[in-house]
């Protein structure tokens, strides 16, 4: 994680930042924020006059407010180290000082191996806040196969959550009976697993004493008692069914145990729902309370209480303090209150109420709903922060709160939601890094290869936030898709799988076996096991294609270097891996690369699409060439899609005049020096490295960072290409530059941020213009082939750099207009492009094959 120390302004320094006509900095008022934001005071009216403009420095006020939610790299490292220390202290049984986390053994000694079978009832309490769930689960005992569980959710009334404990467990027993009454089975000999998601002291698989309530529950007569026995007593009082409570686990243990077999050893469970917690498989000899020398045991970290000892103090905002004061358990579960879904909406509400009272939002007006606790829920925040939700949807959600929403309010509210979610994700990542560090140390392994099972509504409703950089090995991803092409359109179901770095750079057999394992896992989840399906293979590396289902890999790019693949038919390697996996029937019909797949995908919607362009980790293009011009293929009429593999353009030295010493440095440090010259000047895998080398050079000249070199800046790949997109964003640009550089541990001056912005702009602008020049050459070639005065053509485009960089796409289009003025070019961004396109190629191939057999 980044080594950094954030510059903080003291109140004395902050008062010196006043500009003519501006308000005092926001933190001068925030010491008295309550559940409704700031109290009304003289000079801070509850609702400014209609039509009154926002303060001229409203954006600055928002930024000052949201700066409180910034967590630096150094602070994340401190959290990781402090949590790790608390974990080890609790494992060792040290009574004094009291550990910040409990590290409770769960008496689960092994993970599932896939042969378990039987019918089971499950009761979940506490995982999803004010509800409980009953499930019927059938395990088939065949390689982890299981029937989709039947379930029913019951809302727990507030008076039950806060009333006597007997009332709560009687309610649970009633829900169990209501659920089972609807199922066709007997009333005897039912086995139940109890998922109870609160801190407990467990003394056996079916014995668990509640330590304290969390997540809004406060039932009397339960703390200090065995919750399994309380449930058994309630079931007996109800008398309808003979149910044996076999085991009690919390939701993190259940999540880990429920991880699908076949994706690697899953020995960590992480839940971010109403609350948050993690568990992992610890060596039993390290758990002092067990007095065991052999085996492993699942330990519930109970990290929600981390920080109750004050260690999180510098990271707590005034809004965190206000939320804690109004909670059911002030001073407790401080870490959970910064991450858990029960609290994120309330944090956003407090910030919005405060900004409205400052005259920054909603015309200075609040509303009864905005001033009411619990009016903004997790799902509201996730939807407002979602970049795909659209301004109209955010506007509607705010109007539902009775707010007068102005033109600039939507964007500012989205900034608030993003700040709260981003902090939660970074804190969670730091805590998970502590758990993984503990596992690595206890196993005495240099490299830890492990799967983490995740669950909870925060993950499900806001997956983008949890894509933030966090702990874990490097690598890349690939997708498996199920594509249904019908007269009504294309329906796609997909899942992303990770390729660990050691697999991407290991043996070819290991790589293709991993791919097949993931395909089989996907088939099982989609209920397609045993079916023979046509498979289209999107393979985005340079290949010499000999047929629709034959492709010889010329060389690896993009960080892959799996052995025994170059010079081999990739389709054969995939078929051999399928053959090694028993009872798998897949027919590899077609191989395409991502550019062809993208072109085909967009061509399904727009028949004028005759060019495919990828600008992501790598870059490439394809286009429809006149068959008479392709010497390697017989025929004089028709067209043929040509995969250009333009990433290798310049390997013959033709780009020498454009290459800089920084390009040369990046090339020499790559795994393929002297190759893919054009790609290394354009694609997302390399732009961040080019910027880093320039910053190193300017620092050595004393122009940047006071001439102070840091170890972080000298670390390869530390300056991610995604930073360019963030830095060059039209909004908050210089502040984003400052935040990113602080996380790299760089000593900043006020001029440094602007200079780094200019470096990023120069590197990305050159990349976009080079890409545009390549596109211009392609469309001009098509126009000349056809002898046209003017060509109208569409280009299907995919790739993260093209899609996510704020200016890349417009710079490419402008360059094409300048260099190919006689071509009218429309750029179509592809969604699920290469996968959908590969399915279309496969569908056509199957249709032609069927016609040939007739």
**Cβ atoms within 10 Å of 852's Cβ, excluding its own:** 7
Task: Say how far apart CA 548 and CA 749 lie, in whole Å.
Answer: 57
Percent share of the chain, pLDDT over 70: 76
* Domain 11-73+311-432, classified CATH 3.40.367.20, yes or no: yes
Q: Is the pLDDT of residue 387 over 60?
A: no
pLDDT digits (tens, 9 = 90+) for 490-516: 566 777 777 877 788 889 999 999 998
Q: Which CATH number fits domain 500-586: 3.40.50.300, 3.40.50.880, 3.30.420.40, 3.30.9.10?
A: 3.30.420.40
Task: Say how far apart CA 804 and CA 814 lie, in whole Å.
Answer: 18
Q: Answer with the residue of higher pLDDT: 12 or 111.
A: 111
Comparing CA positions, the residue from 255, 228, 282, 269 lying closest to residue 109 is: 282
Task: Say how far apart CA 133 and CA 338 lie, in whole Å.
Answer: 26
pTM of the model: 0.48
Q: Identify any residues that bridge with 193 across adjacent strands, giving them in sequence order.
A: 122, 247
The CATH architecture annotation of domain 107-249 reads 2-Layer Sandwich (3.30)
Comparing CA positions, the residue from 203, 103, 219, 217 lying closest to residue 170 is: 219
At residue 847, the pLDDT reads: 56
Using 50, 70 and 90 to split pLDDT, how confident is the model at 12?
very low
pLDDT digits (tens, 9 = 90+) for 286-300: 888 776 766 777 888
pLDDT digits (tens, 9 = 90+) for 210-260: 888 877 788 999 999 999 999 999 988 888 788 888 877 766 666 766 665
Using 50, 70 and 90 to split pLDDT, how confident is the model at 467?
very low
Most confident segment among 206-220, 234-248, 452-466, 661-675: 661-675
Cβ partners under 8 Å of residue 549, min gap 6: 571, 588, 589, 590, 591, 845
Query: Residue 101: exposed, middle, or buried by beta-carbon count in 10 A (0-12, 13-18, 19+)?
Result: buried
Domains 11-73+311-432 and 661-790+803-829 share a fold: yes
Here the tokens at position 468 are: 């933030």
Using 50, 70 and 90 to split pLDDT, how confident is the model at 13?
very low
Q: Is the pLDDT of residue 538 over 60?
A: yes
Q: Answer with the residue of higher pLDDT: 598 or 697.
A: 697
The CATH architecture annotation of domain 661-790+803-829 reads 3-Layer(aba) Sandwich (3.40)
Using 50, 70 and 90 to split pLDDT, how confident is the model at 765?
very high
- Please identify which residue in the block is written with the tokens 């005092």: 24
- Give the residue extent of every domain in the chain: 11-73+311-432, 107-249, 500-586, 661-790+803-829
Q: Identify any residues that bridge with 276 across adjacent strands, giving them in sequence order.
A: 272
Average pLDDT of span 458-468: 54
Q: Is the pLDDT of residue 676 over 70?
A: yes
The residue length of the chain stands at 854
Q: Is the pLDDT of residue 20 over 60?
A: no
At residue 793, the pLDDT reads: 94
Active site residues: 479, 540, 594
Q: Mean pLDDT lowest for which of 87-96, 222-231, 682-691, 725-734?
A: 725-734
* Average pLDDT score over the chain: 78
Q: E strands, 509-649, where?
A: 533-538, 543-547, 550-553, 586-592, 609-615, 619-626, 639-643
Task: Say how far apart CA 219 and CA 132 lie, in whole Å.
Answer: 15
At residue 39, the pLDDT reads: 36
At residue 268, the pLDDT reads: 86
Task: Say how far apart CA 241 and CA 173 lie, in whole Å.
Answer: 10
Here the tokens at position 210 are: 């509640």
């Amino acid at each position: 994680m980044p080594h950094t120390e954030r510059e903080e302004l003291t109140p004395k320094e902050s008062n010196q930042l006043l500009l003519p006509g501006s308000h005092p900095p926001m933190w001068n008022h925030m010491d008295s924020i309550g559940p409704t934001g700031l109290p009304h005071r003289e000079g801070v009216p509850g609702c400014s006059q209609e039509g009154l403009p926002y303060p001229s420095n409203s954006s600055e006020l928002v930024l000052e407010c949201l700066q409180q939610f910034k967590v630096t790299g150094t602070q994340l490292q401190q959290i990781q180290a402090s949590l790790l220390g608390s974990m080890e202290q609790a494992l060792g049984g040290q009574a004094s000082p009291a550990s910040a986390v409990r590290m409770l053994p769960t008496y689960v000694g092994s993970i599932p191996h896939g042969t378990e079978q039987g019918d089971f009832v499950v009761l979940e309490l506490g995982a999803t806040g004010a509800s409980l769930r009953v499930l019927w689960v059938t395990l088939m005992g065949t390689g982890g196969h299981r029937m989709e569980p039947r379930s029913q959710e019951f809302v727990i009334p507030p008076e039950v959550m806060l009333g006597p404990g007997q009332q709560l467990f009687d309610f649970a027993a009633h829900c169990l009976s209501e659920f089972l009454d609807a199922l066709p089975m007997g009333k005897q000999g039912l086995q139940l697993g109890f998922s109870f998601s609160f801190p407990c002291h467990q003394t056996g698989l079916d014995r668990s004493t509640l330590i304290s309530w969390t997540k809004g529950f406060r039932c009397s007569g339960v703390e200090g008692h065995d919750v399994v026995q309380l449930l058994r007593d309630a079931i007996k009082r109800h008398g309808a069914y003979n149910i044996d409570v076999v085991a009690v686990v919390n939701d993190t243990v259940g999540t880990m145990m429920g991880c699908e077999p076949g994706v690697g050893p899953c020995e960590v469970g992480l839940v971010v729902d109403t609350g948050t917690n993690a568990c992992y498989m610890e060596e039993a000899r390290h758990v002092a309370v067990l007095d065991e020398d052999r085996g492993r045991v699942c330990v519930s970290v109970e990290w929600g209480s981390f920080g109750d000892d004050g260690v999180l103090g510098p990271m707590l905002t005034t809004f965190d303090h206000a939320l804690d004061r109004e909670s059911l358990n002030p001073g407790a579960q401080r870490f959970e209150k910064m991450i858990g879904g029960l609290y994120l909406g309330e944090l956003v509400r407090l910030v919005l109420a405060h900004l409205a009272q400052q005259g920054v939002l909603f015309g200075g007006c609040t509303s009864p709903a905005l001033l009411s606790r619990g009016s903004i829920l997790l799902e509201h925040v996730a939807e407002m922060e979602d970049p795909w939700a659209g301004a109209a949807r955010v506007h509607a959600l705010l109007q539902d709160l009775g707010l007068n929403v102005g033109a600039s309010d939507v964007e500012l509210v989205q900034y608030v939601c993003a700040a709260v979610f981003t902090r939660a994700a970074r804190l969670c990542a730091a805590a998970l890094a502590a758990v993984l560090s503990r596992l690595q140390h206890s196993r005495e392994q240099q490299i830890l290869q492990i799967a983490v099972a995740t669950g909870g509504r925060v993950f499900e409703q806001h997956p983008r936030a949890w894509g933030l950089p966090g702990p874990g090995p490097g690598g890349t991803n690939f997708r498996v898709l199920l594509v249904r092409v019908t007269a009504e359109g294309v329906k796609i179901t997909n899942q992303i799988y990770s390729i660990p770095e050691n697999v991407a750079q290991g043996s070819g057999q290991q790589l293709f076996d991993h791919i097949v394992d993931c395909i089989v896992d996907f088939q099982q989840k989609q209920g397609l096991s045993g079916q023979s399906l046509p498979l289209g293979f999107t393979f985005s590396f340079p290949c010499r294609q000999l047929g629709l289902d034959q492709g010889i890999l010329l060389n690896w790019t993009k960080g892959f270097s799996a052995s025994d693949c170059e010079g081999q038919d990739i389709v054969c390697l995939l078929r051999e891996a399928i053959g090694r996996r028993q009872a798998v029937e897949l027919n590899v019909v077609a191989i395409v690369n991502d550019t062809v797949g993208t072109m085909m995908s967009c061509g399904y919607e727009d028949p004028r699409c005759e060019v495919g362009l990828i600008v992501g980790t790598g870059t490439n293009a394809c286009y429809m060439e006149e068959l008479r011009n392709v010497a390697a293929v017989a025929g004089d009429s028709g067209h043929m899609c040509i995969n250009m593999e333009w990433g290798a353009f310049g390997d013959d030295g033709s780009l020498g005049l454009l290459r800089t010493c920084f390009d040369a440095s990046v090339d020499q440090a790559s795994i393929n020096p002297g190759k893919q010259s054009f790609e290394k000047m354009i694609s997302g895998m390399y732009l961040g490295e080019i910027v880093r080398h320039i910053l190193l050079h300017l620092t050595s000249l004393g122009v940047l960072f006071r001439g102070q070199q840091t170890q972080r800046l000298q670390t390869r790949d530390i300056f991610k290409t995604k930073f360019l997109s963030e830095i060059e964003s039209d909004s908050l640009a210089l502040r984003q530059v400052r935040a990113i550089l602080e996380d790299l541990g760089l000593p900043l001056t006020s001029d440094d941020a602007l200079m780094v912005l200019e470096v990023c702009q120069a590197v990305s602008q050159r990349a976009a213009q080079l890409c545009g020049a390549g596109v211009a050459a392609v469309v001009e070639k098509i126009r000349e082939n056809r002898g046209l005065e003017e060509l109208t053509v569409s280009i299907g485009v995919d790739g993260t750099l093209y899609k996510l960089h704020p200016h890349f796409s417009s710079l490419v289009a402008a360059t094409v207009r300048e260099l190919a003025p006689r071509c009218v070019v429309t750029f179509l961004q592809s969604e699920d492009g290469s996968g959908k396109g590969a399915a279309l190629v496969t569908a056509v191939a199957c249709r032609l094959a069927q016609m040939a057999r007739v």
